[in-house]
Structure 1
Amino acid sequence: MGQPEPSVRATARSLDEGIDWGACQLLVGAPPSIQLSETDDSGLPIEASADSAAADLNAEQATLHGDVDLVRGDTRLQADEVVVNRLTSAVDARGNILLQRPDIRMSGERAEYQLDSRQGRVEQASYRVPAAHARGDAASAELVGPGISRYSDITYSTCQPGDDAWLLSANALEIDQNEGFGTARNATLRFMGAPILYAPWFTFPTDNRRRSGLLVPSVGHTGNTGFDLSVPYYFNLAENYDLTLTPRYMSRRGALLGGEFRFLTRTGRGELKADYLPNDREYGSARGSASLRANAGLAPRLTGALRLNYASDSQYLEDLGSSLAVTSTTHLERAGELRYFGDDWDLLGRVQQYQTIDERIPARNRPYSRLPQLRLDLFKPDGLAGTNYLLDAEYVNFYRDDSVRGHRVQLFPRIGLPLRRSWGYIEPRVGAHFVSYMLTDQIEGLDDSPSSLAGTFSLDGGLYFDRGMNYFGNAATQTLEPRLYYLYVPRVDQDDQPVFDTGVFDFNFDNLFRENRFNGPDRFGDANQLTLALTSRVFSDQSGAELLRAS
């Protein structure tokens, strides 16, 4: 097969010019909605150019031949041959047609178009809808009005030309960009060439406005589920709440129904999710899961949160979870909390329990319940003589079956004296970490009311140097920031203290400058250490954005 003619290649390039094909998804409204209005071009002149032209004065028509380019207002028509009726503004075009308007682009071999009414028809059309990032082919395409087009024997996709990963084919399709949806009849949805869904009629969004309709199906295959198909349907119930129902078919396990209800109130928001499988053929019984997350502003400075999670059995998430993060979950949280924010402090009250999903985890390694937890965090800058005050205070009642349990009180006051200049800073800080317990079922031979007190001293200092530089052709500033951090904490006996919720921080750069290498109050690490660090950053002089950081 020979190479296409230059005019054909130019038509293909113009058809796709400026369209972002980054999201290869079919039935989602990723692009923003557009506002289309009735444009009156009837009073505007017709501008035309061609290799040759002939006029029939009796019939009041003009015929143009060879690379015809006709423009009126925001409409442009290119073709090999164009006949224009100067009385009716009707246009008949043939050969390598490219019709362009802000809302639509079409190519084909023959077109009829009315310049005044902006209505027309293109045979054997390829089309593009720039605002929807959509494309396809049709036996015929009809322009009904601004933003509205109809097609017969059509394909539709939002994948780039040449990539038909997602493809919709239908006997008929209407795209209404004013309302932001498409309506297909006798439609088949294909994924990687394989048909996965047939519908005699359905609608789908073409922009990001909320409306009821089918969303992108999910298709896969795993050892746990076999062939796995999910077809979500979105219900736009009201401005402040909506519902998504997702029927899911798994060849090895059966049919599952999932739902997600989202709501927004004047003071908060939340979402309720649930899945139910009435008869798991592999497991032998009904299975399900549910979760509720809600946050609310209850009063000025007072917020509340609720997090509830449930699974019917220990293998549910592993068998039916939809992602690696879900299937690897070992515990499900159930918690409610209130938080009050003061000017320099905040107070948290919380109750928290966990459902252990992985039954292989021994009881001694499962998380404790907090029934309840009360925590006060205070940071008071600009205190006496430039000092700042910090306080971490907490009370928790820990509970776990067949384990050491009880009450813990922690107090960690600190006072620092930050001295800052444009060229650097230094901040000495002293503190005292106190923790005390009242325990039940303590290990025999250990104190059931242990406590410990550890003093702390730290010295943090750094310098700032900077210079101008050229960063890939743009003006920038590079800094050099040496930092020194000294920490001293004497060793204290903590052997009688249980470990309720404490571990060691992961090693990273920021954790080199912590007062405690442990992430909870049950242990406070002794230290007599000096840390030296060097950081260099690059900032844009124009925007102030940080472009590069190395430490």
Structure 2
Amino acid sequence: MTPKLPPRRLLAVAAALAVFGGQADASNAQISPASPSNQTDLACPLGSFHCAPRPLNYAMCRPNALLEFYDPSLGKDASLRETSPTLVQAQHVDSSNQSVYHLSGDVKLQRADQQLQAERIDYNDGSTDYDARGNVRYQEAGQLLAASRMRGNTEASRGIADDVRYQMLDARGNGTAGQGQMLDAQHTRYSQATYSTCDVGHHLWEFRAKSITINKETGVGVARNATMRLGNVPFLYLPYFSFPVDDRRKSGFLYPTIGNTSRSGFEVSTPYYLNLAPNYDATLDPRIYSERGAMLAGEFRYLTPGSRGQLNVEYVPNDHGESDGLADTKDDSRYLVKFSDRTRLWQGWQFVGSYNHASDSSYLYDYGDALSHAAVYTLGSNAAIVGGGKWWSASFGGTIYQNVNPFVTDRGLPYRQLPYAKFSMDVPLSRWLEFGMDTSAVAFRKTGSVEGEREDIYPYLAADFGTSAWFVRPRLAYRYTAYQLGSDYQDYGYRGPLGSGATTPFDQKSPTRSLPVVSLDSGLVFDRSTTLFGSSYTQTLEPRLFYLYVPYRNQNNLPLFDTNVMSFDYWQLFSTNQFSGADRQMDANNLTAALTTRLLDDSGVERVSASIGQIHYFSPQKVLATDWVRSAYVAQLDVQLSDRWRLNSAYQWSPNTRLTDMAAVQLQRRLRTDGIFNFSYRYRRGLLEQYSASVVYPVSERWRLVGSWTYSVKDRQSVDALAGVEYDSCCVSLRLVGRSYVNQSYYGFGPVPKGGNLDRRDNAVLFEVVFKGLGSTGGQIDPLLRRDILGYQ
């Protein structure tokens, strides 16, 4: 028989009694009973420099690892509970007492997504007391619960369940409890409880606690006398352990980091997170370095309606390790401070600032250039007021630098810019004509070098004519640059004749330079249908001519504050200046001729792109000091005929020297679903010649090998070598990585270190374990592999 019962809350009580019922965020991976793996296509596009992190993958979990009473036909919509009737099935119903119902014999109560089963259920409609006995089983959309007995009161939201087994369905998690007690609607307590995200009955790891208390009102759970076990072996004891039961932030210990480097020895880090307020928090990170001593690191973050920022501090009270720098710049007490802030001032304007400072030039070399950190040679600090509108942008501020390379002097630092002001605009005058301007005024400061101020004004008028088949883009610009050098400018050689043939000395304290910059860019686009290897493509043929005229100005009397010659590549064929700063403007009377062809598939994806170009010089380049008639031939070839492999290459050959100036080849191959292989060759005449290879090789469903290797032909040695292994299972992931590398602070510089570490190689090893659903022992390996292995996920 299936009568309708007056009781309204019987099933709701069973749902509230589920162990860890509030901890639905124990894992970021949402699963469903029918498909617990949530397996997705992990591969990111070939050639991507940054790939999204791999989600927690439960594909290796058993697909049917559910408590035995799970009913897949039960509804999944919890919102229907209030409007759905409660259906009751039982072999015997005794309602002789008008307020007490006795149900027995395969009792089943069902409403919407909820289902409660037991051998016997007694319910008092007057007092709302209930008692379910004998193989009690409860199911709802988010969890499963089994107990030998459940009893309590629905009105007071109190209840007790004995011999509990539970499983979360929306987020992985399962375990047992000797007894679960609901104190009220917001507070529950469990004794002799366990928790794991592994398969039911196959726990590679689990937490066991004497008691667990959950406060849904604060979103905090507390475990006392907790032990974490691998298999049946305990390896971590926590007398008191708190954890979040929802997505609110929670103060407490984060997972530790364990590593080893040849510079600092073994490292152990135990960070503690402080949830101070909804809009600011902090992390204290005490560390121990076996070769250097103790460190206290910390992080503070804040977010207000008008600003956001972050402060990081590292402090070493007594460093007893060695320093291999050129001078004794290392004190026993050492520190690093990093601060950044962005504050909105008024409409369209904001303050942007950063302060970065180390106690000595060896600090980052000793502490920062470890397994997963690239070498840093300078620390920059900046403060600026930045604004912008629809057609303009402006900034006013200052920038300073600190040398953190212990093997060079401060003479190699960039100039301080104290202060600087920049303004840019780009205003459309009509559909095809626009007016723009780039201006800057900077005061350059540097001890031991010529100092001064520089103003650079660069207005231009540009037009754009064309259709999808052709374009013509004339551009007329004028550049004026003026200097006001410091009073001691003559000490640095800024005095003499204007140029060859001049006989009258002149004062170079206020040199200027002014010149027009005229260019005309034009091109055609032809296309046709073609086939290749049985596939249909659209092939384009795109000839392009770029003419540039800039008259010569003698600029030997101008200082070099922030200017360098840029590496010549394909895009330099169409650039108006091969210098990176305003201190030099190249002269030109050049015509660039280039040709590009592309293959586009039916969906418009570019599968092949090939380009070649060369500059013809009608007059010698005096600023760059060359009298060549032609530049090097520059060619590029990019091929990706399928989603499994990609080839990129570039080549430069000079007809003037009949030598190869530059060559680069990069090959990327997708291996299975989440594997990748990269090979590259880089050559630039007189500077470097290197081979590199990297791989993520899936050995099996659970094991992956990772590695990278860079070899310098010029130095006849391996510059960087990394090898590691990754293991992935249902609920545990392991990573072990070792790296041997030429320390970049040594590499390329002449001085020999004076300390005991005369080997230019450093070594580092790091081990990381991820208990899925809980977190990780650290996060240092992932950034390293992303940096060294293109396309790593």
TM-score scaled to structure 2, two decimals?
0.54
AA partner of residue 296 (structure 1)? T
Residue 563 of structure 2 is matched in structure 1 by 502
Give the direction of change, closer, same or farther, for the CA distance of 1:205–1:530 in structure 2 (3 Å limit): farther
Counterpart in the other structure of 1:488: 548
User: 2:446 aligned with 1:407, yes or no?
Assistant: no
Aligned residue for 1:522?
Answer: 583
Structure 2 counterparts to residues 138-157 of structure 1, below 5 A: 138-140=176-178, 142=180, 144=182, 150-157=189-196
Which residue in 2 is equivalent to 1:135? Answer: 173
> 1:532 maps to what in 2?
595
| Worse overlay, 157-166 or 138-147 | 157-166
Partner of 2:474: 428
Query: How many angstroms does 1:278 deviate by?
Result: 1.5
- Alignment match of 1:388 (pick from 417, 431, 434): 434
Q: CA-to-partner distance for each residue in 1:145-187, whole Å, 9 max, x for gaps?
A: 7786544334445578899898544322234556433211123
Among 296, 316, 322, the residue aligned to 1:257: 296
Deviation at 1:354?
0.4
**1:316 aligns to 2:396 (yes or no):** no
Give the corresponding residue for 1:437.
483
Match for residue 503 of structure 2? none
The offset of 1:397, in angstroms, is 1.8
- The match for 2:252 is 213
- Give 3-state SS (helix, strand or coil) of 1:519's partner: coil
After TM superposition, give the deviation of residue 450 of structure 1 in Å. Answer: 6.0
- Distance in 1 (CA, whole Å) between partners of 2:307 and 2:561 is 33
Structure 1 range deviating more: 307-316 or 138-147? 138-147
- Aligned partner of 2:21 in structure 1 is none
Partner of 1:344: 391
1:97-140 Cα offsets, whole Å, 9 max, x none, are 8643344334x67454779669563626353363xx35243343
Helix, strand or coil: the match of 1:46?
A: strand
What residue is the counterpart of 1:451 in the other structure? Answer: 513
1:474-523 Cα offsets, whole Å, 9 max, x none, are: xxx99969473514244734444433223355677766644333322233
The question of 1:46 aligning with 2:108 is answered no
In 2 relative to 1, CA 128–312 (structure 1 residues): closer, same or farther, beyond 3 Å? same
Aligned residues of 1:438 and 1:450 also touching (Cα < 8 A):
no
Counterparts in 2 of 1:426 and 1:528: CA distance versus 1, 3 Å: closer
Aligned to 1:354: 401
Structure 1, unaligned stretches of length 5 or more?
A: 1-12, 25-35, 48-52, 468-476, 541-545
1:173 aligned residue: 212
Q: Deviations over 1:424-470 (max 9, x none)?
A: 64322222334343442434666643636352313144659799xxx
* Runs (5+) with no aligned partner, structure 2: 1-30, 40-54, 58-77, 125-129, 323-330, 499-507, 530-536, 610-793
Which residue identity is paired with 1:127? Q
Match of 1:84 in 2: 120
Q: 1:60 to 1:343 in 2, by over 3 A?
A: closer
* Range 403-412 or range 416-425, more displaced: 416-425
Contact between 2:311 and 2:338, CA under 8 Å: does it hold in 1?
yes
> Equivalent residue for 2:261?
222
Higher relative contact order (CA 8 A, sep 6+): 2
Judge conservation of contact 1:141–1:149 (CA < 8 Å) in 2.
no
Question: Which of these residues, 101, 105, 120, is aligned with residue 63 of structure 1?
Answer: 105
1:204–1:229 CA distance, 2 compared to 1 (3 A): farther
Which segment drifts farther, 178-187 or 394-403? 178-187
Q: Give distance in 2, aligned partners of 1:364 and 1:315.
A: 16
> Secondary structure at the residue paired with 1:317?
helix
- Evaluate the alpha carbon distance shift between residue 340 and residue 40 of structure 1 in structure 2; reply closer, same or farther with a 3 A threshold: closer
- Provide the C-alpha distance between the structure 2 equivalents of 1:300 and 1:254, rounded to a whole number of angstroms: 49
Cα distance change of structure 1 residues 432 and 550 upon mapping to structure 2, 3 Å threshold: farther
**Is the 2:86–2:110 contact (alpha carbons within 8 Å) kept by the matching residues of 1?**
no
What's the counterpart of residue 285 of structure 1?
A: 332
1:305 corresponds to: 352
Q: 1:161 to 1:280 in 2, by over 3 A?
A: farther
Number of residue pairs matched by the alignment? 498
**Contact 1:390/1:414, CA 8 A, preserved across alignment:** yes
Deviation at 1:332, TM superposition (A): 0.9
Name the CA shift for 1:480/1:400 in 2 (closer, same or farther; >3 Å): same
CA distance in 1, matches of 2:519, 2:108: 80
In the TM superposition, what whole-angstrom CA distance separates every residue of 1:362-386 from its partner, at most 9, and x where no partner exists?
Answer: 4443211112212111111125x84
User: Which residue of the other structure, out of 309, 313, 325, is the alignment partner of 1:274?
Assistant: 313
Q: Which amino acid aligns with 2:456?
A: Q
* Range moving further from structure 2, 309-318 or 458-467: 458-467
Report the residue type matching 2:290 in the other structure: S
**Identical counterparts, % of pairs:** 29
CA distance in 1, matches of 2:558, 2:204: 59
Q: Distance in 1 between matches of 2:376 and 2:260?
A: 21
Which of 120, 123, 148 aligns to 2:163? It is 123
User: SS in structure 1 opposite 2:283?
Assistant: strand
Give SS of 1:370's match: strand
TM-score (norm 1): 0.74
Q: Write out per-residue CA displacement over residues 183-225 of structure 1, whole angstroms, 9 at most, x where no aligned residue.
A: 1112345799997864322322244323333333333333334
